[in-house]
Structure 1
Amino acid sequence: MNVLVGNKLRMLRKSKNMSQEEVADYLHISQSAYARMENGESGSWAIHILKISKIFVISPEELLIIDDKTNNGSSSGAVTQLSKKVIEQYEERIKELKKVINDLKKKNENKM
């Protein structure tokens, strides 16, 4: 799934005549981290989906819609699987952030 989104990112970036470095700077990540997203080696695009949508002037849903040019013949079920994967990644991130918040609250309580 990351490959499908990565292909879409590459297509969008090239349509805007932008370099990987320019997109990476906008996202406040390294060029190599962005390259991993485009190559499908990283799912961190999900964390940056709102900024990605803004830079390419698309809705987040448009990033997840995979057309024939992007998926090279993959089944339409890939979109559903991709949506589920995004939800799972966000849920995991929310769990991580809740743990960080609880840890910070405990630290703050111990200081008082």
Structure 2
Amino acid sequence: MNVIIGNKLKKLRKSKEMSQEQVADYLHLSQSAYARIERGESSSWASYANKICELFKIIPEELVTNDIRQDEETTNDLNETLIINQLSDKVVEQYEARIKELKKTIKDLKRKRKP
């Protein structure tokens, strides 16, 4: 749960273009304590839930619920990246094969040109 909240806090913070230090100052925490919350290493976020919601203008339910839509978007992004990488690999393989063919053709032409 702490990792989910931490990731959500990081996204919220970045969407507001805030630094960890700015959020930490607002919550009256050290930057390192806030960084531990974002990394999911601390559950102290619960003590600051109301102030966090106030800062990011969200309701507490939004903070603690796992957004399935975001998980689906992340999965879709990963799938698209995988497909692009696979296609790129295939294109590279095709170009390498074509280069090999052209090198052979050049070699054959050079051999035919020499008496």
**TM-score, normalized by length of structure 2?**
0.60
The amino acid that maps onto 2:41 is: E
Higher relative contact order (CA 8 A, sep 6+): 1
Q: Secondary structure at the match of 1:49?
A: helix
Please name the residue that 1:3 is paired with.
3
Q: Which runs of 5+ in 2 are unaligned?
A: 76-115
Change (3 A) 1:70 1:57: farther
- Alignment deviations for residues 41-92 of structure 1 (CA, whole Å, 9 cap, x no partner): 000000000000000000111101111436967xxxxxxxxxxxxxxxxxxx
Aligned positions, number: 73
Q: Percent identity?
A: 62
**TM-score, normalized by length of structure 1?**
0.61
Q: Secondary structure at the match of 1:58?
A: coil
Q: Distance in 2 between matches of 1:31 and 1:39?
A: 12
**Residues 31-110 of structure 1: matches in 2 within 5 Å?**
31-68=31-68, 69=70
Please name the residue that 1:101 is paired with.
none
More helix by share: 2
Runs of 4+ in 1 over 6 A off after TM superposition: none
Contact 1:24 1:34 in 2 (8 A): yes
Change (3 A) 1:70 1:4: farther
Larger Rg: 2
